[in-house]
């Protein structure tokens, strides 16, 4: 009896101290993390400023030779910041010229003024529902209404603008995809006293899947789409017989760039044309922001409709939310709430290596197989790139903290640190190599040759322009021999004798 009592006593004693240590570590992490995040944020701003300055220098240096949107693309006319200084007539004119519904709201979301636009018709229908004195939430479904009020609160708190994309069911039965832009209106002291809300056509025809044709944006970067809804120049169909056409498939890491011509597909086109001394090579940017591998398979027929000779794939990051949608059960699920465990033992909180490998096989790799199969049936070559991420071996402690902070801002929330993210990318890249060997398609080792940290990566996946140029160069070097075999002969065909 006495021995049993001692066992219980010492067991409870050990459990008590283990619990005390766990609480102590958690308290330390909770108190310590804000200072780490502030230091990482300051470090990131300082280091990324150089990358953004280099981007701006490239934009300015190449402005004279930049391609222009086609005549059918309407450009933005006025910056939104001018709205605050306009009188009532000027604000009405602003709304009409910008094809935007403009509203002024207070902190509670009450519409104090409404400035409608007669075009487009979907926006005019939405404007007909806007009433001075009513809440902005009356224009929106319940969830979007709550989000809009949160966005207004965010503007009042930060003094910064907040963009949103909503799909709104209109009384006519149309689902209208539109952009809401919440902009601060400040008093003489600089305090936010009201919020201007601008609503207009979204860049999306179908959110996160398809861009609207012939849209134009000039902030935060210049962006326009062609008649087919791709971020590129107009495409000739059927394809001219003397053209070698390449289609680049992916998400924002394909679509990104401060200008249409400063995206990696357009850089790749320039390098290939210089290498082969011909203008008969076309590279079309079919990247779509936030596109997943499931979305890529949905758009496969659109890629094939462009009649490409080669399809290049570069994507992975957008599938991570799906890959980690079902968290582990039991103790791991509980411990995921711990800041200490998240920062120090993040990898242990994820599914096992074997389970992660199986999930990647079943989603992005399976979708890549479908793309390869569809392309090969159409007689189209395929090249698949490994996916680059910040190289852990080259990161100092502050860089790791910066990228940890950046990864928390991703749409999937606080699931990964940069080390676990690199681990996932490594598994994916290994499976891509296996896929390319199995399917007999070209493997492009982008990740293996694009190694660096904050000098290349603005966040965990997006690149500064100089690094995008490096990526284009890596891809160029690994597809040159393939293109050399498929490039149509420059020699004119001899006339046949009668």
Q: What is the pLDDT of residues 40-76, one digit of tens each?
A: 788 888 999 999 999 999 999 999 999 888 776 766 6
Cβ-in-10-Å burial (0-12, 13-18, 19+) of 455 comes to middle
Tell me what the mean pLDDT of segment 413-438 comes to.
Answer: 93
What architecture is domain 223-486?
3-Layer(aba) Sandwich (3.40)
Q: Is the pLDDT of residue 290 over 60?
A: yes
CB contact burial 36-59 (16+ within 10 A = b; e otherwise): beeebeebbeebbeebeeebeebb
| Low-confidence winner among 25-39, 113-127, 248-262, 369-383 (lowest mean pLDDT) | 25-39
Q: Which long-range contacts (CB under 8 A, 24 or more apart) does 347-353 make?
A: 347/419, 347/420, 347/423, 350/324, 350/416, 350/420, 351/324, 353/427
Higher pLDDT, 352 or 134: 134
3-state secondary structure 189-256: CCCEEEEEEEEEECCEEECCCEECCCCEECCCCCEECCCCCCCCCCCCCCCCCCCEEEEEEECHHHHC
From 3.40.50.10860, 3.30.450.20, 3.40.50.10900, 3.40.50.460, which CATH number describes the 80-206 domain?
Answer: 3.30.450.20
- Do 319 and 364 form a contact (C-beta atoms < 8 A)? yes
Residue range(s) in the chain whose domain bears CATH number 3.30.450.20: 80-206
Nearest CA among 486, 458, 484, 456 for reference residue 471: 456
Q: Which residue stretches of 346-396 are H helix? A: 346-349, 353-360, 366-377
Q: Where in the chain is the domain with CATH 3.40.50.1110?
A: 223-486
Considering 64-73, 105-114, 159-168, the range whose residues carry the highest mean pLDDT is 105-114
Sequence-ordered list of residues with C-beta below 8 angstroms from that of 92, at least 6 positions apart, any chain: 115
Cβ partners under 8 Å of residue 369, min gap 6 = 435, 439
Q: Is 427 left (phi over 0), alpha (psi -120 to 50) or beta?
A: alpha
Any alpha helices (H) in 136-185, and if so which ranges?
Answer: 142-158
Q: What is the pLDDT of residue 493?
A: 45
CA distance 207 to 178: 10
468-487 pLDDT, tens digit per residue, is 999 999 999 999 999 999 89
Helix axis angle, 2-61 relative to 465-486, nearest 10°? 80
CB 192 within 8 A of CB 159: yes
The answer to pTM > 0.85 is yes
Q: Which of 101, 68, 285 is nearest to 181 (CA)?
A: 101
Q: Which residue has the higher pLDDT, 489 or 140?
A: 140
Whose structure tokens read 């498939």?
Answer: 249
For CA atoms 285, 290, 294, 298, give the dihedral sign.
Answer: negative
Say yes or no to pLDDT of 418 above 90: yes
Is the distance from CB of 251 to CB of 317 less than 8 angstroms? Answer: yes
Per residue in 96-106, pLDDT (tens digit) is 988 899 999 99
More confident residue, 186 or 25: 186
How far apart CA 386 and CA 461 sit, in angstroms, is: 12
419 C-beta neighbours (distance < 10 Å), count = 14
8 A C-beta contact, residue 356 and residue 326: no
pLDDT mean across residues, the chain: 89
What confidence score (pLDDT) does residue 44 get?
A: 86
């Amino acid at each position: 009896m006495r021995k049993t009592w001692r066992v219980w006593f010492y067991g409870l004693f050990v459990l008590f101290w283990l619990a005390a240590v766990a609480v102590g570590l958690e308290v330390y992490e909770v108190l310590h993390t804000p200072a780490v995040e502030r230091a990482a944020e300051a470090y990131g701003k300082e280091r990324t400023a150089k990358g953004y300055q280099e981007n701006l220098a490239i934009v300015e240096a190449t402005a004279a030779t930049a391609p222009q949107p086609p005549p059918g693309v309407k450009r933005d006319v006025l910056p939104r910041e001018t709205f605050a200084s306009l009188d009532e007539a000027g604000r009405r004119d602003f709304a009409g010229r910008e094809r935007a519904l403009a509203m002024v709201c207070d902190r509670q979301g009450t519409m104090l003024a409404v400035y409608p636009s007669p075009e487009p018709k979907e926006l005019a229908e939405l404007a007909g529902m806007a009433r001075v004195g009513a809440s902005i939430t009356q224009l929106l479904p319940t969830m979007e209404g709550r989000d809009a009020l949160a966005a207004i609160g965010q503007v009042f708190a930060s003094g910064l603008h907040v963009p949103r994309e909503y799909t709104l069911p209109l009384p006519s039965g149309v689902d209208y995809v539109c952009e809401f832009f919440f902009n601060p209106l400040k008093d003489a002291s600089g305090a936010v006293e009201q919020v201007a809300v601008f609503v207009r056509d979204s860049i999306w025809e179908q959110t996160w899947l398809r861009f609207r044709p012939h849209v134009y944006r000039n902030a935060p970067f210049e962006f326009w789409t062609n008649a087919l809804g791709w971020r590129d120049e107009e495409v000739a169909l059927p394809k001219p017989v003397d053209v070698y056409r390449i289609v680049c498939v992916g998400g924002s890491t394909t679509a990104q760039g401060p200008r249409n011509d400063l995206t990696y597909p357009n850089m790749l086109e320039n390098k290939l044309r210089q290498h082969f001394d011909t203008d008969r090579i076309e590279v079309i940017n079919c990247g779509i922001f936030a596109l997943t591998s499931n979305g890529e398979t949905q758009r496969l027929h659109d890629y094939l409709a462009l009649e490409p000779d080669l399809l290049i794939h570069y994507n992975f990051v957008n599938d991570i939310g799906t890959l980690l949608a079902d968290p582990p059960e039991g103790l791991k699920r509980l411990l995921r709430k711990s800041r200490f465990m998240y920062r120090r033992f993040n990898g242990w909180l994820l599914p096992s290596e074997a389970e992660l490998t199986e999930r990647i096989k079943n989603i992005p790799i399976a979708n890549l197989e479908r793309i390869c199969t569809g392309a090969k049936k159409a007689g189209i070559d395929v090249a698949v790139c490994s996916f680059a991420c910040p190289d852990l071996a080259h990161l100092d402690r502050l860089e790791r903290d910066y990228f940890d902070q950046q990864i928390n801002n991703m749409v999937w929330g606080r699931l990964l640190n940069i080390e676990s993210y690199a681990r996932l990318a490594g598994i994916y890249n290994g499976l891509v190599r296996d896929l390319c060997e199995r399917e007999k398609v070209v493997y492009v080792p982008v990740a293996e040759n694009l190694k660096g940290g904050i000098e290349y990566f603005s966040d965990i996946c997006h690149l500064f322009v100089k690094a995008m140029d490096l990526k284009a160069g890596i891809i160029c070097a690994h597809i040159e021999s393939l293109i050399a075999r498929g490039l149509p002969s420059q020699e004119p065909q001899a006339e046949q004798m009668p």
